[in-house]
Structure 1
Amino acid sequence: MAFLLPRLERADIVYKTLNETPFPTAVLVPKTINPKKACPLLVHFHGGGLYTGTNLEPAFLPLELAEAENAIMVSPTYRLLPEATGLNILDDLKDFWEWVRKSLPAYVAEKWPGLTIDLDRTAVFGESAGGYLSLQSAFLFPSVHIKVIMAQYCAIYPDIAAWNPQPAEVPSAADEFINAYIAQIKPGTIRLSSPYPALGDLGQAVKQTGRHRQWLGDNERLTLDYGLRTAEKLPPIWIMQGLDDRIMPKEATDELVARIREAHPETELLYSVQPGDHGFDSPHGLDEPYIAEGIELVRKYWP
């Protein structure tokens, strides 16, 4: 990713403020962009299990795709667990999309005179938790009119059994570690960024205890079932998964894909399974054969 960033101009702008805490989003414009045409939008949501990570981390493929497709890319921050709840994160998602529709075009026109953005050509891309937020964007906010979803190892839905299951025996040390972390959180704390590998020990404890669902909360809007029941129509979807993923088991993503296909058989869905662990795709570019196949699907509908 580092070698790609100098090829794009970056600006950071606040899309919402809560309790005097600004929520920034990065806006990136390829230096090769053609100002004579309205630019499509590519929105990137970062991963990290909803409890860690920061915007643009990692974001190799969307950066390369934005440059290739003359697109403007936006990558927002959002509140993180366990300081926040799953519903808090969905509120951030809602507020972000409202800002995109109401304010992003004017911001782009002012920051980059001569550039215009075409919100009717919007695609979303996310890895892990970011893939979950990409899918949730289409499920819960149909007015955004997303043209295509690109989601990697994204099955962190609380109603998918293979994701962070409750173990038969919870390691006491891991449970105590989580309790100690939660105990030191001050009321009203908002955490928006913990760059990788921050909080890796917390993530390991969550994996060992199966407490991710507890952090998310039990509201039905967080579930895959609710999204599939309420969405009248879904955009085309490209899902990527590592065969040897130790964080997001392939069985969880298999269930996600099967349930989407059952509920919305009319939706074009490409499921790319490749050897490798979580983040298997990070060194791969647009010319990798399985990625080229996915990009072929993407280009049928976007930009």
Structure 2
Amino acid sequence: MASLFPRFDRITLVYKRLRGTDFLAAALIPKSLSTEEKMSCPVLVHFHGGALINGTLEPAYLAQWPLELAESKGAIIVSPEYRLMPEANGAHILEDIKDFWAWVHKTLPIAISGLNPNLTLDLDRIATVGESASGYLAMQSGFLFPEAKVRVIMAQNCAMYPDVRMYNSHPTDPLEKENAFVDAYLKQLKPGAMRLSTPFPTMIDFALDYCLRTTKEIPPMWIAQGTEDHIMPKEATDEMVKKIKETRPEVPLLYSVQLGDHGFDMGHKLSEAWLAEAMAYVGKYWP
């Protein structure tokens, strides 16, 4: 796995154990960081995408620009596993994210300094980044878990929000074929089954206003969206952004719209004008 990120040293840590299963988090440390000088490093938490039903830390889920961002800011990237559907449900996944954040603040600094005594984590400078379903997790980290101390949220193609009308519509015709597919899979599951990592595109066939009103404080957000997204349509993200602005007008929010389909930003670099504008905005709050 380290060869996939040649400019980073990759270490694997256990952030939680459940029913005999280790839940892993990958830490990517820029090789550009000095090993001889004491440094206080900001943290960039990345959640992998995959519709909450597949995914792992691999190039299919990590764009070029977050790697460049981490290098330019001297930040350490941390990316956790979490339980995947349909073996798990949404509550299980958010429980994993909550446990991950507790581990970040209690244990991760000790683990990093144990590997390199000159590196310390600045847990007052945390940002989250995620794409698609993981954009949802990046946002929920700021909405649901104030103890995470997220300074800014960066989410791409992330219109997975329960109050968006587009996702509350019900088909008039029964989805017999689709339901049979899901039912057959669920029927063969053994009690207590868990999946923490499934490479893309395995199981891709599964993928297809409460928080705003109850959360005391929401971090600043940058949301990016592709105009031709066939999975998370721009219209849904437009509606979500409008709802956030109307319900919580005090929350700083930058909305970037670019040509392209789902995952349009994968090959983009920080030097591009639209990302430079977004990073200037993010830079007001992090690191």
Shorter chain as denominator, the TM-score bin is: over 0.9
3-state SS, counterpart of residue 38 of structure 1 = strand
Alpha-carbon offset, residue 3 of structure 1:
8.0
Residue number in structure 1 paired with 2:56: 54
Does the 8 A contact of 1:39 with 1:116 survive in 2?
yes
* C-alpha separation in 2, matches of 1:238 and 1:47: 17
The 2-side partners of 1:46 and 1:245 are apart by: 18
Runs of 4+ residues over 4 Å off in structure 1: 1-4
- 5 Å-filtered alignment, 1:130-279, equals 130-163=134-167, 165-203=169-207, 207=208, 225-279=209-263
Identity %: 54
**Alpha-carbon deviations, 1:224-252, whole Å to 9, x = none?**
x1211122222211000111111001111
The residue type equivalent to 2:223 in the other structure is I
For residues 300 and 191 of structure 1, what CA distance do their matches in structure 2 show?
38
1:2 positional shift: 9.1
SS in 1 for 2:284: helix
Instruction: Check conservation: 1:163, 1:248, Cα contact below 8 A.
Output: no
Contact 1:40 1:72 in 2 (8 A): yes
Question: Residue by residue, what CA displacement relative to the aligned partner does 1:137-158 show, whole Å, maximum 9, x if unpaired?
Answer: 0111112221111001111122
Matched to 1:273, the amino acid is: V
Distance 1:258 1:302 in 2: 24
The correspondence for 1:38, drawn from 34, 40, 49, is 40
Q: What code does the residue aligned with 1:58 have?
A: Y
Counterpart among 94, 113, 116 of residue 112 in structure 1: 116
User: Could you tell me whether the CA contact under 8 Å between 2:2 and 2:9 is conserved in 1?
Assistant: no
| CA distance in 1 between partners of 2:2 and 2:110 (Å) | 29
Q: 1:75 matched to which residue of 2?
A: 79
Q: Deviations over 1:119-173 (max 9, x none)?
A: 0000000001111011100111112221111001111122222238432224422
Superposition CA RMSD, Å: 1.7
Gaps of 5+ in 2: none
Tell me the number of residue pairs that the alignment of Structure 1 and Structure 2 aligns.
283
TM-score (norm 2): 0.94
1:33 to partner: Cα distance: 1.2
Q: 2 CA distance for matches of 1:168 and 1:273?
A: 32
Range that drifts further, 233-242 or 97-106:
233-242
| Residue 101 in structure 1 maps to residue 90 in structure 2 | no
Cα 1:2–1:251, aligned 2, differ >3 Å: closer, same or farther?
Answer: farther
Give the counterpart letter for 2:272 in structure 1: E
Measured in 2, the distance between the counterparts of 1:170 and 1:112 equals 57
1:43-90 C-alpha deviation (Å, 9 max, x unpaired): 000111111111344112322211111001100000011100100011
Instruction: Decide whether aligned partners of structure 1 residues 251 and 154 sit closer, same or farther in structure 2, where only a CA change above 3 A counts.
Output: same
Amino acid at match of 2:9: E
Task: Kindly indicate whether the alpha-carbon contact (under 8 Å) linking 2:39 and 2:118 is maintained by their aligned counterparts in 1.
Answer: no
Aligned: 1:5 with 2:5? yes
CA distance in 2 between counterparts of 1:128 and 1:112 reads 33
Question: Is the CA contact 2:2–2:8 (under 8 Å) kept in the aligned structure 1?
Answer: no
- Cα deviation, 1:177-212, whole Å, max 9, x if unaligned, reads 111111111110010111101112232xxx3xxxxx
In structure 2, how many angstroms separate the alpha carbons of the residues matched to 1:10 and 1:18? 24
1:244–1:275 CA contact under 8 A, matched in 2? yes
> 2:206 is paired with a residue of what secondary structure?
helix
Per the alignment, in what secondary structure is the counterpart of residue 278 of structure 1? coil
Maintained 8 Å contact 2:30/2:70: yes
Give the match for residue 214 of structure 1: none
The match for 2:26 is 26
1:18-59: CA deviation from partner (whole Å, max 9, x where unpaired)? 010110000110000144330000000011111111134411
* Counterpart Cα distance in 2 of 1:107 and 1:42: 16
Cα distance between partner residues in 1 of 2:244 and 2:54: 27
Q: Distance in 2 between matches of 1:75 and 1:3?
A: 17
